[in-house]
Amino acid sequence: MAHSKRYNEIKAQVDVKKLYTPEEAVELVKKTATAKFDSSVEVHVRLGIDPKKGDQQVRSTVALPHGIGKEKRIVVFATSADAVAAAKEAGANIVGGEEIIEEIAKTGKIDFDIAVATPDMMPKLAKVAKILGPKGLMPSPKNETVTANVRKAVEELKRGRVAFKNDDTANVHQIIGKVSFDNVKLLENYAAFMDAIRRSKPSSSKGVYIAGITLTSTMGPGIRVNA
């Protein structure tokens, strides 16, 4: 695909052979953001794992200190009075039980970005697993969205906790903020995410674990990072 003259001029500012420091990369990502809207800043990490092996999957959560610049709509599937009250007080956008599940099953409509559920709701959610699963919205203990403590889960998600996992090509992709964020906030979010990646190294993974890191803005050129 041919790129515009402006894009090629911007891309020319990036040395594709160079590994930039995180500080240099953040500065360059902001400088080369081409979109007319407030672009997301993304980290793409290539891992030295075998994604076909179950014991080498990388999947975890991280609380980004400054969030990602987008308010997440959260649904909480719960029926007990205490859990419903806690979810609402914590700021959940939608709270309910089987009536929400029935509505999703009937219409296929999803009006939320993250789903949290109390453990007792999981068997009932099986009815809509084929709708939520492909969109990555099925609650899971692995990303701490199946919990009896819905207050804590919702509060942490609102503050910037995100879930990440490797894809079929052993890469992890994560938004860490917006181009409008100042450099310090982006660097602190980057550091928190990379720490979480390193802590998530599977014990069965041998050799080089982090094989490559690229920072980019939406529609902007990729910038290779050294750490």
pLDDT in tens, 209-224: 999 999 999 988 999 9
202's tokens = 């599977």
Output the CA angle 150-69-87, nearest 5 degrees: 15
**In the predicted model, what is the mean pLDDT of the chain?**
92
Q: Report how far residue 63's alpha carbon sits from residue 105's, in angstroms, rounded to the nearest whole number.
A: 31
pLDDT at position 3 is 63
Residue 207, SS3 per DSSP: coil
The pLDDT tens digits of the residues spanning 91-133 come to: 999 999 999 999 999 999 999 999 999 999 999 999 999 999 9
| 81 has pLDDT over 90 | yes
| 59 has pLDDT over 60 | yes
| Radius of gyration over every alpha carbon of the chain, rounded to an integer in angstroms | 20
pLDDT at position 7 is 65
Strand partners, 22: none
The pLDDT tens digits of the residues spanning 20-58 come to: 999 999 999 999 988 889 999 999 999 999 999 999 999
| 12 has pLDDT over 90 | no
148's tokens = 């009896």
pLDDT at position 13 is 83
| 163 has pLDDT over 90 | no
DSSP assignment of 155-196, as one string?
HHHHHTEEEEE--TTSEEEEEEEETTS-HHHHHHHHHHHHHH
- Dihedral class, residue 69 (left if φ above 0, else alpha if ψ from -120 to 50, else beta): left
